[in-house]
């Protein structure tokens, strides 16, 4: 899952949102024979472009000419993730499911500010747009090498959602910037100033996707893994290595667990239950196993022999 926040995709975000909205309406202009894809938010679908632009451009109280007026959030599932959703909901159901997911992502966006009165997407002014295709630009290697032309559609599953969110909250009173890295001089000052952890936001969006769509994500496919490899310290990488080892050890247990979930019945065997490890997502807390991964207790020796009291690896 790729989630990114930018100032704007095509133009400066210190003026009107009109240019960006016009750009994101491109598929409606290219596919005039199909029903147009309108904007949506937490309240409703079918929002016209004019309404979205008017609402955003008027929600700028006490912002100067140099201030950002809005931000663009790109919510892009991978081709593997899109295929998974389509298998569950089909071609017709997938767009609506992604919109529901985007609403949940915007709830997390709001909570990430840790500001009193900003509790969910209902406290924000935002508009989302579902796009079904991506197009080659002059920046793509294929275009530079002459293999593709600018504006051609990219192959594969490319459905994604673009969200324009106002710098000001829904009341047009509170300034909110996801580009603000300040944590303030102290905790109380931070609450007033506001703060935004972009890494935590991206990780929470991935976690929401996996939970909503029951998607089993490989460790190397996670944002945590990519972020740790790029920006993490030794402790972060060791924690991921421990989690990877634990997943490999517990892998044989998954088919039986899946079968029980499918049949709704408990396994009727005389075998003692194996010890399992509880996991806490690293985005919510540190990895804390109940027992060391791969550790098992020795069986007691027969009578007359010294009993083993240690642990074997």
Distance CA 215, CA 277 (A): 20
Q: Which residues of 191-214 are buried (b: 16+ CB within 10 A; e: fewer)?
A: eeebbbeeeebbbbbbbbbbeebe
Beta-carbon contacts of residue 305 (< 8 Å; ≥ 6 apart): none
Q: Identify the pLDDT of residue 211.
A: 95
Per-residue pLDDT of the chain (313 residues; tens, 9 = 90+): 999 998 766 568 999 999 999 999 999 998 888 899 999 999 999 999 999 999 999 999 999 999 999 999 999 999 999 999 999 999 999 999 999 999 999 999 999 999 989 999 999 999 999 999 999 988 899 999 999 999 899 999 999 999 999 999 999 999 999 987 655 555 565 555 557 889 999 999 999 999 999 999 987 888 877 777 777 777 767 777 777 777 667 654 443 333 333 334 443 444 444 433 333 333 343 333 333 344 444 444 544 444 444 433 3
Distance CA 154, CA 117 (A): 42
Distance CA 111, CA 120 (A): 6
Q: Identify the pLDDT of residue 224.
A: 78
219-to-37, 168, 223, 225, 236 alpha-carbon distances in Å:
35, 37, 9, 7, 13
Q: Identify the pLDDT of residue 196.
A: 87
- Does this model's pTM top 0.75? My answer is no
The tokens of 34 are what? 């199909």
What is the residue extent of each domain of the chain? 2-217, 219-250
Q: Which residues of 117-132 are buried (b: 16+ CB within 10 A; e: fewer)?
A: ebeebebbbbbbbbbe
The residues pairing with 160 across neighbouring beta strands, listed in sequence order, are 131
The class of domain 2-217 in CATH terms is alpha beta
Distance CA 186, CA 4 (A): 28
Contact criterion met (CB below 8 Å) for 164 and 152: no
Walk across the sheet containing 70-76 and list its strands.
2-6, 70-76, 160-169, 124-131
The tokens of 177 are what? 């910037």
Q: Identify the pLDDT of residue 81.
A: 96
Phi, psi values for residue 102, rounded to 5°: -60, -35
């Amino acid at each position: 899952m790729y989630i990114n926040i930018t100032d704007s995709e095509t133009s400066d975000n210190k003026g009107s949102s009109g240019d960006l909205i016009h750009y994101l309406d491109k598929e409606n202009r290219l596919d005039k024979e199909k029903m147009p894809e309108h904007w949506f938010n937490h309240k409703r679908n079918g929002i016209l472009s004019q309404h979205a632009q008017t609402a955003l451009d008027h929600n700028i109280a006490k912002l100067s000419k140099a201030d950002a007026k809005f931000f663009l959030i790109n919510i892009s599932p991978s081709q593997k993730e899109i295929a998974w959703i389509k298998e569950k909901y089909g071609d017709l159901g997938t767009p609506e499911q992604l919109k529901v997911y985007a609403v949940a992502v915007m709830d997390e966006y709001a909570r990430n500010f840790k500001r009193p009165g900003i509790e969910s997407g209902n406290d924000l002014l935002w508009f989302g747009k579902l796009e079904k295709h991506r197009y080659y630009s002059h920046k793509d290697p294929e275009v530079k090498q002459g293999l593709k032309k600018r504006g051609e559609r990219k192959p594969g599953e490319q459905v994604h959602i673009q969200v324009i969110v106002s710098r000001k909250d829904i009341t047009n009173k509170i300034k909110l910037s996801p580009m603000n890295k300040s944590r303030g001089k102290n905790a109380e000052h931070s609450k007033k100033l506001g703060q935004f952890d972009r890494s935590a936001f991206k990780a929470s969006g991935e976690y929401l996707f996996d939970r909503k769509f029951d998607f089993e994500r490989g460790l190397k496919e996670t944002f945590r893994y990519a972020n740790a490899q790029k920006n993490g310290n030794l402790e972060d990488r060791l924690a991921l290595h421990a989690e990877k080892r634990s997943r490999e050890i517990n892998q044989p247990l998954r088919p039986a667990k899946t079968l029980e979930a499918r049949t709704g019945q408990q396994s009727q065997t005389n075998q003692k239950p194996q010890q399992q490890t509880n996991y806490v997502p690293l985005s919510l807390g540190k990895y804390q196993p109940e027992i060391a991964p791969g550790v098992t207790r020795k069986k007691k020796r027969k009578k007359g022999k010294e009993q083993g009291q240690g642990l074997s690896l």
